[in-house]
C-alpha cells in the first residue's frame, strides 16, 4: 500500500501538468496558426518538445519534493495556458465556419445554370472581409497570446531545472507510480475477524457451487471451469471478501483443491505458474527455464481435480491497445483446462473489464457492496479497540467519537483500517478527538489515488468534472457523455470517430473501475442512474482543484454576499436559481465555461434582463443549463424570448432550458441564434412550443448533434445538419425546407426517429431519397399519417427501415395493404410492433417478425380479423389488442404461441369474451397456458380485471403465482 504521506502529496498536486501541456491542443494550435502568422510551426514544435518531455520527467519527483507547495501556482499557470490555447483554436474554427457556411450555401444555390448567380457568388467571396482573417482576431493579438503560452512553458521548465529534483534524469512519473502501486502480495488467510461480509460471502459461494450447464470437459469445447469476479474501488474490501470465501471453501469439501495467487499489476506468466504449482502442491516449485515444462507440470497436478483458483488483484487497462496484455491473461488460464468439470476461478479486480477479459459472464461480475453505517462503525471500532483493555465508560465515550470519525471515512474499509490502527495507538478521549478533527481524507486515499492515476488522461478530466455535482447526485450516462463532448474532453484517434462514442468509452471505463457506480433501482422500470461514492467524490474534488465549484442549497440560504467563489473557476453548479447571486457573483467569472443551475421557482423569475446580462459577461461558456418550475397559472401562456445577444456566446455548445413539469411556455429563438456555429446540444425539456422569430437559416448550425424536446422543433433545411444524431421528430410538409428527402443526408441519426405527415410523401423516389434503410443507428421508428392519409404501395415499399431496427410504430395508416418489407424479413430484428389506427382490411402477415418479436400491440385498427401466423411468433411475450371494433364479428381466437406471458384483450365482442372465460371452450384452451390474461369490455370500461379465475401453478417448479383475470 502506498505511504499515506506520498498519497497526500500526489493528491495535492492534482492532475499531471504534463498531461495538459503535452496535449494535442498545443500542437494543433501552432500548426493552425503557422500559415496565418508566417512562422515555421514544425520548428516551434521541435523547440517545445524537449521542454514538454522535461516536464513529464520532473512530475514524478514533485510528489516527494519539499518545494511542492511552491509549484501550485506554476501548475495553475500551465492549465491557464492550456485553456487559452483551446479558446484560440475555438475562435479560429468559429471564424472558419462563419466564412465557409455562407459559401457552401451559395454554392448549393448556384449549382444550376444561372451565370448571373455564379458571378454574384464569386464577387461575394472576393469581397469577404474574413478571407485572410481565419483566426477572427488581429495578427498582433494572436501572436501575443501564442507568445504568452510559450512563455509559460519556458518558465515552468526553468523553475523545475533550478529545483534540481532528483528524478529529473530518471524514469517518468508513470514508472514511479507503477512501482509504488503494486503493494504487498495478499494471502488466502483472512483476518481474525471479518465484519459485515457474511451476506456477500454467501452470494459468492452460491455462484461457486452452481451446477454447470456443460458436462465433462472437452478440449475442443467449453472449459472445465467458469469465472466469477468481484470488482470495486481500491480499498473497498475485495481481497478480504475473497479471503473469507477461500476460508469457507477450505473447510468445505466441494472443491478438491483451493489455490490462492496474488497477481497485481506487473505479473509474469512464469511467476504465476510457479505460484499456482506451490498452492496446488504445498511445496516449492522447481526452477524451469522452459515455460512448456512448467505448464506440463502444473497440468499434471490439476488433472482430474475440481479446483477453486483465486486470482487476487488482477489489473487490466482497457486503454492500452496491446494484445500482449490480454494474451498474458489467457496464458495464465491455459493449464487450468486439465481440471475436472465444475472447477471455478474467483477473480478480484478494480475494474470489471479484467473479469470480462478472463471470461466471466456479466451476471457473474459482482460489485463489492457498501457497508451500512452501523456495520462500518463496528469495523472501525474493531480495528481501534479489539482486545484493548479499556473500562466501559471510556469505551462508550470513544465509541461515540468513533461514530463521528466513521462518518468522515465515507464507508471505505481501507480507511477504517488505516485510521483504526492510528486510534489504537492511544485510547484516550483527547487523542481521539484530535484524530476526529484532522483531515482524514488525505491520510486514507492512497489506494484510490493509484487507481485514479491509471485512468486515461482524458478520463481523469471527465471524472474530475463530476465533482461539480452535489454528493449522491443521480447522474445519467447519456447526459454525462453529451456534457463531456461539449466540454471538449473527447480525443478522437481516427477519422470519422464520433466524440460521443469516445466519451462513452470514457464513461464505460469509469463504471468498470467503479469510479461511477450504478444506483440501486427503487422501481423496476426506473432509468439507470449512477452515483459517485462519497470518498471518490472527495477525490474528484481534489483532482479538479479550483476548476470546479458548486453552491448548494444550504449556502444559498445564507446571504449572497457570504458566498465566496474562486475567481478562476471554470465549471460551476448552482443548486437553485438566485438572481442576485448570478448578477453579482457568477457574472464576474470571466473564465467560466460551464454553468448548470439545478432548479428555480418558475420561468417568470428568470428574467430576460438577467439572461442578457449573462450572455454579455460570460462569453466563454460552453455549457449553460437552467432548470425551473412551470408557471403557477396554466391558463395564462408564458412567453420566453431569448435575448438577441446570445450570439456573443460563440463557444457555446450545450444549451438546456428545462422545466420540472409540462406547461404552456412558448420559447422564442432570435435570428442571431443561427450564429452559434459550435452548438452541439439543444435541450428544451417540456417546453410547449419552440419558435423562430425570423426566417433565418438555422441550417447554419452545422455542428448540431442533439435536439431534445417533448414537442417537435421544426428546423427548416434540416438536411444541412449532417452531424445530427438525436431529434424529437420530423414533420413532412409540402413546402420548401420540409420535404421528406431532407432526411437523406442525416446518416448519423440514433435512437428514436418519429416522422409525422407521412401522407405528404407522394412518390417512391421521394421515399427512397430519405434513405431510412441507411440510418443504421435508428432503433425505434414511428411513422404517422394525419387525417386518414393514404399511400401507394410503391411509396410504402420505399420506406424500408434499417435492418437492425428494434421497434416499429405505425399510426394512422389507411392504405390498401402493408409494405412488402414487413413480410419478407427486412424487420426480422424488431422486438416491439405497435399498430395504431390502421385501416387495411386485414392485418399484416407476421412471418417477417418471427425471430425476435416480443411485444405486439394492436390498437384502434379496423380489421375484420386478427393476423394469422401468430402461433409462429415463438418469442412473443406480451400481446395487447384493444378498441378494434370490427373484431366483434370474430367467433374464435387464432392459435397463440406458447411463449406469451401477458395477454391484454379489450374488445366489444361478448361472444368471444364468453368463450374465453368458459373452461374447456376451444378459445379457453388457446389462452389457458398464459400466466396473466386481462380482458375488458369496451362498453363497460371500469370492470377491468374484477374476477380472479384459473389455477395456481406448482410453485416448486416455477416459483411463480399465476392469476387469470376476467370480467365480473
Mean pLDDT by 10 residues, the chain (968 residues): 33 48 68 67 65 56 56 76 83 85 62 44 41 59 79 77 54 34 56 75 89 50 86 81 88 88 77 84 78 84 89 73 69 86 90 86 87 86 84 88 85 77 79 79 62 79 93 91 94 84 92 80 78 83 89 65 82 88 90 88 72 94 86 60 92 88 76 93 86 77 91 84 91 89 92 92 90 92 82 83 92 85 80 89 74 88 77 89 74 83 82 82 87 65 31 31 32
Of 107, 89, 101, which Cα lies nearest the Cα of 702?
101
Query: CA-based angle 177:179:182, to the nearest 5?
Result: 100
Beta bridge partners of 574: 551, 597
Q: Which value, to the nearest 10 degrees, does the dihedral of the CA atoms of residues 36, 39, 43, 44 take?
A: -70
Is residue 275 within 8 Å of 261, Cβ to Cβ? yes
CB atoms closer than 10 angstroms to residue 857: 16
Q: Say how far residue 813 (Cα) sits from the centre of its chain.
A: 37
Write the burial class of residue 405 (CB in 10 Å: 0-12 exposed, 13-18 middle, 19+ buried): buried
For residue 601, give every residue at least 6 positions away whose Cβ sits within 8 Å of its Cβ, in sequence order, or none: 577, 628, 629
Of 143, 153, 149, which Cα lies nearest the Cα of 39?
143
Is residue 890 within 8 Å of 909, Cβ to Cβ? yes
For residue 298, give every residue at least 6 positions away whose Cβ sits within 8 Å of its Cβ, in sequence order, or none: 273, 276, 277, 280, 335
pLDDT reported for residue 218: 44
Q: Are strands 517-518 and 530-531 parallel, antiparallel or unpaired?
A: antiparallel
Residue 661 grid coordinates: 413539469
Which helix (DSSP H) or strand (DSSP E) does residue 947 occupy? strand 947-949
How many whole angstroms separate alpha carbon 864 and alpha carbon 867?
Answer: 10
How many whole angstroms separate alpha carbon 534 and alpha carbon 444?
Answer: 13
Q: How many residues does the chain have?
A: 968
Q: Is 753 helix (H, G, I), strand (E, B) or coil?
A: strand
Q: Is 885 helix (H, G, I), strand (E, B) or coil?
A: helix
Q: Sign of torsion, CA 599 600 603 608?
A: negative
Is residue 810 within 8 Å of 780, Cβ to Cβ? no
How many whole angstroms separate alpha carbon 15 and alpha carbon 19?
Answer: 7
Is residue 696 within 8 Å of 711, Cβ to Cβ? no
How many whole angstroms separate alpha carbon 298 and alpha carbon 654?
Answer: 58
How many Cα atoms sit within 13 Å of 193 on the Cβ side?
11
Is residue 313 within 8 Å of 277, Cβ to Cβ? no
Write the burial class of residue 619 (CB in 10 Å: 0-12 exposed, 13-18 middle, 19+ buried): middle
Residue 621 grid coordinates: 461558456
Scored b (16 or more CB within 10 A) or e, 893-919 reads: beebbeebeebbbbbbbeebbebbbee
pLDDT reported for residue 563: 75
pLDDT reported for residue 148: 81
User: Is this model's pTM higher than 0.75 or not?
Assistant: no
Of 533, 563, 565, 532, which Cα lies nearest the Cα of 546?
565
For residue 27, give every residue at least 6 positions away whose Cβ sits within 8 Å of its Cβ, in sequence order, or none: 45
Angstrom CA distances, 961 to 287, 523, 898, stand at 62, 20, 18
pLDDT reported for residue 836: 92
Write the burial class of residue 494 (CB in 10 Å: 0-12 exposed, 13-18 middle, 19+ buried): exposed
pLDDT reported for residue 623: 97
How many whole angstroms separate alpha carbon 28 and alpha carbon 356?
Answer: 37
Angstrom CA distances, 530 to 27, 34, 533, 667, stand at 35, 44, 10, 31
How many whole angstroms separate alpha carbon 741 and alpha carbon 768?
Answer: 8
Amino acid at each position: 500500500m502506498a505511504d499515506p504521506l506520498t498519497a497526500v502529496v500526489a493528491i495535492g498536486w492534482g492532475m499531471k501538468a504534463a498531461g495538459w501541456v503535452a496535449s494535442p491542443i498545443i500542437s494543433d494550435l501552432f500548426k493552425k496558426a503557422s500559415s496565418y502568422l508566417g512562422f515555421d510551426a514544425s520548428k516551434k514544435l521541435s523547440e517545445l518538445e524537449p521542454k514538454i518531455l522535461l516536464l513529464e520527467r520532473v512530475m514524478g519527483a514533485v510528489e516527494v519534493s519539499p518545494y511542492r507547495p511552491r509549484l501550485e501556482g506554476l501548475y495553475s499557470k500551465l492549465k491557464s495556458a492550456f485553456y487559452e490555447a483551446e479558446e484560440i483554436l475555438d475562435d479560429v474554427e468559429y471564424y472558419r465556419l462563419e466564412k465557409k457556411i455562407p459559401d457552401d450555401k451559395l454554392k448549393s444555390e448556384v449549382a444550376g445554370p444561372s451565370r448571373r448567380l455564379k458571378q454574384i457568388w464569386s464577387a461575394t467571396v472576393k469581397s469577404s472581409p474574413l478571407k485572410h482573417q481565419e483566426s477572427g482576431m488581429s495578427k498582433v493579438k494572436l501572436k501575443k497570446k501564442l507568445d504568452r503560452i510559450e512563455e509559460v512553458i519556458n518558465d515552468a521548465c526553468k523553475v523545475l531545472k533550478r529545483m534540481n529534483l532528483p528524478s529529473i534524469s530518471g524514469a517518468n512519473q508513470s514508472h514511479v507510480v507503477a512501482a509504488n502501486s503494486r503493494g504487498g502480495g495478499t494471502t488466502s488467510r483472512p483476518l481474525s475477524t471479518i465484519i459485515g461480509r457474511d451476506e456477500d460471502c454467501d452470494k459468492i459461494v452460491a455462484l461457486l457451487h452452481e451446477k454447470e450447464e456443460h458436462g465433462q470437459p472437452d478440449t475442443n469445447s467449453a472449459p472445465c471451469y467458469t469465472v466469477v469476479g468481484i470488482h470495486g474501488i481500491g480499498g473497498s474490501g475485495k481481497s478480504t471478501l475473497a479471503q473469507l470465501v477461500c476460508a469457507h471453501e477450505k473447510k468445505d469439501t466441494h472443491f478438491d483443491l483451493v489455490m490462492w495467487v496474488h497477481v497485481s499489476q506487473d505479473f509474469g506468466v512464469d511467476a504465476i505458474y510457479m505460484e499456482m504449482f506451490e498452492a496446488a502442491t504445498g511445496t516449492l516449485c522447481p526452477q524451469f527455464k522452459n515455460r512448456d515444462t512448467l505448464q506440463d507440470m502444473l497440468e499434471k497436478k490439476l488433472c482430474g481435480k475440481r479446483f477453486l483458483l483465486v486470482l487476487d488483484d488482477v489489473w487490466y487497462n482497457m486503454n492500452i491497445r496491446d494484445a500482449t496484455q490480454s494474451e498474458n491473461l489467457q496464458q495464465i488460464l491455459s493449464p487450468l483446462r486439465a481440471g475436472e468439470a465444475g472447477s471455478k476461478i474467483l477473480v478480484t479486480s478494480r475494474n470489471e473489464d479484467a473479469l470480462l477479459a478472463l471470461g466471466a459472464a456479466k451476471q457473474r461480475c459482482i460489485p463489492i457492496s457498501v457497508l451500512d453505517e452501523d456495520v462500518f462503525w463496528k469495523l472501525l471500532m474493531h480495528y481501534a479497540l479489539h482486545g484493548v483493555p479499556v473500562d466501559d465508560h471510556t469505551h462508550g465515550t470513544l465509541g461515540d467519537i468513533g461514530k463521528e470519525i466513521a462518518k468522515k471515512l465515507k464507508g471505505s474499509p481501507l480507511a477504517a483500517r488505516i485510521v483504526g490502527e492510528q486510534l489504537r495507538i492511544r485510547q484516550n478521549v483527547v487523542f481521539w478527538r484530535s484524530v476526529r478533527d484532522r483531515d482524514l481524507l488525505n491520510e486514507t486515499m492512497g489506494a484510490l489515488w493509484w487507481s485514479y492515476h491509471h485512468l486515461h488522461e482524458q478520463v481523469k478530466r471527465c471524472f474530475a468534472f463530476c465533482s461539480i455535482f452535489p454528493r449522491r447526485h443521480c447522474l445519467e450516462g447519456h447526459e454525462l457523455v453529451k456534457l463531456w463532448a461539449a466540454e471538449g474532453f473527447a480525443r478522437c484517434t481516427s477519422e470519422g470517430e464520433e466524440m460521443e462514442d469516445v466519451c462513452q468509452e470514457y464513461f464505460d471505463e469509469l463504471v468498470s473501475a467503479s469510479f461511477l457506480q450504478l444506483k440501486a433501482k427503487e422501481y423496476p422500470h426506473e432509468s439507470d442512474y449512477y452515483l459517485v461514492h462519497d470518498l471518490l467524490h472527495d477525490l474528484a474534488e481534489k483532482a479538479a482543484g479550483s476548476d470546479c465549484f458548486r453552491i448548494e442549497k444550504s449556502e444559498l440560504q445564507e446571504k449572497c454576499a457570504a458566498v465566496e467563489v474562486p475567481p478562476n473557476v471554470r465549471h460551476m453548479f448552482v443548486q437553485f436559481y438566485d438572481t442576485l447571486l448570478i448578477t453579482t457573483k457568477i457574472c464576474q467569472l470571466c473564465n467560466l465555461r460551464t454553468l448548470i443551475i439545478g432548479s428555480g421557482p418558475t420561468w417568470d423569475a428568470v428574467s430576460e434582463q438577467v439572461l442578457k446580462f449573462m450572455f454579455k459577461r460570460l462569453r466563454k461558456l460552453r455549457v449553460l443549463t437552467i432548470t425551473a418550475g412551470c408557471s403557477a397559472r396554466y391558463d395564462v401562456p408564458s412567453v420566453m424570448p431569448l435575448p438577441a445577444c446570445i450570439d456573443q456566446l460563440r463557444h457555446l455548445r450545450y444549451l438546456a432550458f428545462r422545466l420540472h413539469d409540462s406547461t404552456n411556455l412558448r420559447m422564442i429563438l432570435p435570428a442571431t441564434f443561427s450564429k452559434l456555429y459550435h452548438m452541439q446540444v439543444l435541450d428544451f425539456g417540456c417546453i410547449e412550443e419552440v419558435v423562430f422569430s425570423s426566417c433565418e437559416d438555422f441550417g447554419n448550425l452545422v455542428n448540431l448533434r442533439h435536439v431534445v424536446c417533448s414537442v417537435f422543433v421544426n428546423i427548416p433545411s434540416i438536411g444541412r445538419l449532417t452531424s445530427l444524431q438525436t431529434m424529437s421528430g420530423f414533420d413532412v410538409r409540402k413546402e420548401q425546407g420540409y420535404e421528406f428527402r431532407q432526411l437523406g443526408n442525416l446518416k448519423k441519426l440514433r435512437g428514436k426517429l418519429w416522422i409525422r405527415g407521412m401522407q405528404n410523401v407522394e412518390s417512391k423516389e421521394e421515399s427512397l431519397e430519405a434513405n431510412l434503410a441507411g440510418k443504421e443507428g435508428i432503433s425505434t421508428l414511428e411513422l404517422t399519417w394525419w387525417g386518414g392519409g393514404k399511400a401507394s404501395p410503391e411509396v410504402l415499399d420505399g420506406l424500408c427501415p434499417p435492418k437492425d431496427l428494434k421497434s416499429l410504430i405505425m399510426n394512422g395508416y389507411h392504405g390498401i395493404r402493408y409494405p412488402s418489407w414487413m413480410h419478407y424479413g427486412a424487420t426480422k430484428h424488431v422486438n416491439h410492433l405497435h399498430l395504431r389506427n390502421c385501416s387495411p382490411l386485414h392485418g399484416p402477415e407476421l412471418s417477417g417478425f418471427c425471430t425476435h418479436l416480443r411485444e405486439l400491440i394492436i390498437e384502434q385498427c379496423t380489421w375484420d380479423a386478427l393476423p394469422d401466423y401468430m402461433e409462429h411468433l415463438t418469442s412473443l411475450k406480451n400481446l395487447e389488442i384493444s378498441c378494434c371494433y370490427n373484431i366483434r364479428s370474430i367467433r374464435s381466437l387464432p392459435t397463440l404461441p406458447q411463449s406469451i406471458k401477458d395477454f391484454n384483450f379489450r374488445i366489444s365482442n361478448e361472444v368471444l369474451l364468453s368463450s374465453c372465460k368458459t373452461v374447456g371452450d376451444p378459445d379457453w384452451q388457446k389462452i389457458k397456458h398464459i400466466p396473466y390474461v386481462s380482458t375488458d369490455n369496451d362498453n363497460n370500461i371500469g370492470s377491468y380485471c374484477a374476477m380472479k379465475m384459473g389455477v395456481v401453478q406448482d410453485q416448486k417448479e416455477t416459483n411463480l403465482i399465476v392469476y387469470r383475470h376476467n370480467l365480473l
